[in-house]
Amino acid sequence: MAHTDHQTMRRVLRREIAGTIGLLTDEHDFRAMRRYRTFTFDDHATYLKQVEDLLRTRSAQGSHTTIALFDPQEYAEFCEETGLDPDAPSSRTRFTAELAGTGPTLPYEGQPLTDLVPALVDEAVRQATWEYATTLLARLGTCGSCGEDIGRAAFTRASDLLLRILDTALPGEHHLVCSVTGTPETLVSVLHSDENTDGSVQLDEAEALEFTTVLALGIATQSPGGLVMRTSTPGTADRIYGWRLRGDGLDPLTAGEVFDAYCTDIDSGDLISPESDVDYCAPPDLGPEGPTPHHSH
């Protein structure tokens, strides 16, 4: 009977373990961790290079790694709540394992960290936006006159509007931005969608959920805001159009209003040259109204 090499077995098993690395994405967070004696890195750039080397090595060995956003403040709170010593590598491992299930994460697929870090930060912002908007929606409670859950009714309304926006769009790649300015924090949400040749639309479910939640919050609180859509189709000019949030619905912007919004610097108010090969236009008719919440708050 052949003797199986224990080292080979261990190597095979190691490939079966999915790992998570908690990444300190910026200099400020990195400096915050340097106060711990057991955190032995001196320089953020060197730290990022070491992480990238480790990711490449693991990938070459066939191991799957997830990257999580490591927040030193959340880590300190976690250690306080769980009674763990924050200056112990095992505590950092425990926190990172926790992040794998709850925090913003991305799979490592061989991309350079210069691409992965901004994507991970975007993911964190998206998750925080969704959590914040969800909390505000839930706090609205029920309508005093009809007993309907205000947040749920607004979410249904927002879902209906989003479906109609995508249904009436020309085929192509869509980039939607929704901003709501009347809440304590200005919220911005982005949604990408691709239309297949058979007419079916591909959406990232988490992105779509967050986008709908932000739009629902604007509708429920009747806040100022807007929604802009850009459609790119090979061989033709990009089409850009949009709506302003008005009551519990959307009011179409004129082509001139869309042009002004895109060709004015937000900070200075100065004019910016319009992009070439872009058609600033009025939106299509969204068709018959869907369910409308019959109360105002």
DSSP string, 8-62: HHHHHHHHH--EEEEE--SHHHHHHHTTSTT-----HHHHHHHHHHHHHHHHHTT
Domain-embedded: residue 284: no
Residues of the chain with pLDDT under 50: 1-2, 290-297
Instruction: Count up the domains in the chain and report the number.
Output: 2
What's the pLDDT score for residue 216? 92
Residues 255-274: pLDDT tens digits?
888 888 777 665 666 666 76
Same domain, 42 and 105: yes
3-state secondary structure 198-212: CCCEEECHHHHHHHH
Residues near 112 by beta carbon (within 8 Å), at least 6 away in sequence:
52
**The one-letter amino acid at 131:** E
What's the pLDDT score for residue 44? 92
- Domain final residue pick, 102, 121, 140: 121
- Domain final residue pick, 105, 121, 137: 121
Same domain, 271 and 157: yes
Same domain, 231 and 157: yes
Same domain, 153 and 273: yes
What's the pLDDT score for residue 237? 87
Domain-embedded: residue 291: no
What's the pLDDT score for residue 76? 94
Residues near 225 by beta carbon (within 8 Å), at least 6 away in sequence:
178, 179, 180, 181, 182, 218, 244, 245
Domain-embedded: residue 71: yes
Same domain, 269 and 168: yes
What's the pLDDT score for residue 5? 66
Residue 194 Cα to chain centre, angstroms: 17
Domain-embedded: residue 138: no
Same domain, 114 and 232: no
User: Residue 278, SS3?
Assistant: strand
Domain hosting residue 108, numbered range: 6-121
What's the pLDDT score for residue 292? 46
Domain-embedded: residue 292: no
Same domain, 71 and 152: no
Domain-embedded: residue 37: yes
**The one-letter amino acid at 240:** I
Domain-embedded: residue 142: no
Same domain, 97 and 164: no
